Amino acid sequence: MTKDVLIIAGPTAVGKTELSLTLAEDLNGEIISADSVQIYKGMNIGSATPSNDELNRVKHHLINIVEPFEDYNVAMFSNDARALIEDIQSRGKLPIVVGGTGLYINSLMYEMDFSEQVKDENLRKELREFADEEGKDKLHERLKTLDPTAAKKIHKNNIKRVIRALEINLLTGEQMGNFKKDPIKTTDFNPILICLKRNRKLLYVRINKRVDQMLEEGLIEEVKQLEDKGLTTNDTSMKAIGYKEVLGYLKGKYDYDIMVEVLKKNTRNFAKRQLTWFRRYDDATWIDLDRNSFEKNYKNIINQLNNG
């Protein structure tokens, strides 16, 4: 019998943390973070990482696991999270995935096409040099040998696409066409997706308050420490909302008050995009946290888990 995995998703500042902590405590669960910024070390304030007290209440995973200058993508998350799910279930506990990164949630709900995540800049450079030295015809011949289907579809003059097809084959052993186009729901476990929402105006109030709280807790100092380590907006981690705006302020792009307004606006827009993403899931159960009491919302999730 396929075992359940509870997934608590929703926009930033909606209230995922407290609800998931209570669920984990009552259901003998462990939390797997599905937040693409909380994975980085030293980025706790801007990512609203659970406090030490909250982390001590329930065992958490995939928080502060990589340095902010290191690459970490959805394929890596999927591999790490799936291994953790198996381990947690093997110990008789309930895996509870909590976060707002839609692509991370997707990678657990479905068997995803990770062809876009397969890349190796050094290999690309070697293939470009091969094309320069040996010519596009020989480059295309290599593709014809390894992936004849792709070679038929890609003209030899389209060197960029020829190199991309070779890169996928050489790194994965797969032909380009083997990657799935349509999402297929996972059969490794039974994902029970709960999406949280609030009245939009009330959510925006919570977001604005959270930004103020982050700044009070030392977000600017946190960004300065990261900057001192040599991190810039060229690093993926520093492109996250909260970090790029503060970096702009530190570089003199705008003054403090404007930075605060830009940060609040960008966070609100991000929440809107998150909600749009989660609405695509037909099998999601939506919980409006403003409509009912915490206790009733909690019971609704338990019922969904029991019936899932």
Instruction: Please count the other Cβ atoms lying within 10 Å of the Cβ belonging to residue 223.
Output: 23
Q: What is the pLDDT along the chain (308 residues), one digit of tens a residue?
A: 579 999 999 999 999 999 999 999 999 999 999 999 999 999 999 999 999 999 999 999 999 999 999 988 888 899 999 999 999 999 999 999 999 999 899 999 988 766 666 677 888 888 999 999 999 999 999 999 988 888 998 989 989 889 988 988 887 666 766 555 567 889 899 999 999 999 999 999 999 999 999 999 999 999 999 999 999 988 989 999 999 999 999 999 999 999 999 999 999 999 999 999 999 898 899 999 999 888 998 888 988 888 86
Tokens of 183: 């999402």
Q: 160: exposed, middle or buried (C-beta count within 10 Å: 0-12, 13-18, 19+)? A: exposed
289 to each of 56, 186, 274, how far by Cα in Å? 25, 28, 16
| Residue 182: half-sphere exposure toward Cβ, Cα within 13 Å | 1
Which pLDDT does position 240 carry in this prediction?
94
Map residue 35 onto helix, strand or coil: coil
Give the CATH number of domain 116-178; options: 3.20.20.30, 1.10.3720.10, 1.10.20.140, 3.40.50.150.
1.10.20.140
For 308, residues 6+ apart whose C-beta sits below 8 A from its C-beta are 4, 190, 192
Q: Where are the domains of the chain?
A: 4-113+183-307, 116-178
Topology adopted by domain 4-113+183-307: Rossmann fold (3.40.50)
Q: Which residues of 163-194 are buried (b: 16+ CB within 10 A; e: fewer)?
A: bbbbbbbbeeeebbeeeeeeeeebeebebbbb
- What is residue 103's predicted lDDT score, i.e. its pLDDT? 87
Q: Quote the pLDDT of residue 304.
A: 84
Q: At 9, which helix (H) or strand (E)?
A: strand 4-9
User: How many Å is the Cα radius of gyration of the chain?
Assistant: 22
CB 139 within 8 A of CB 131: yes
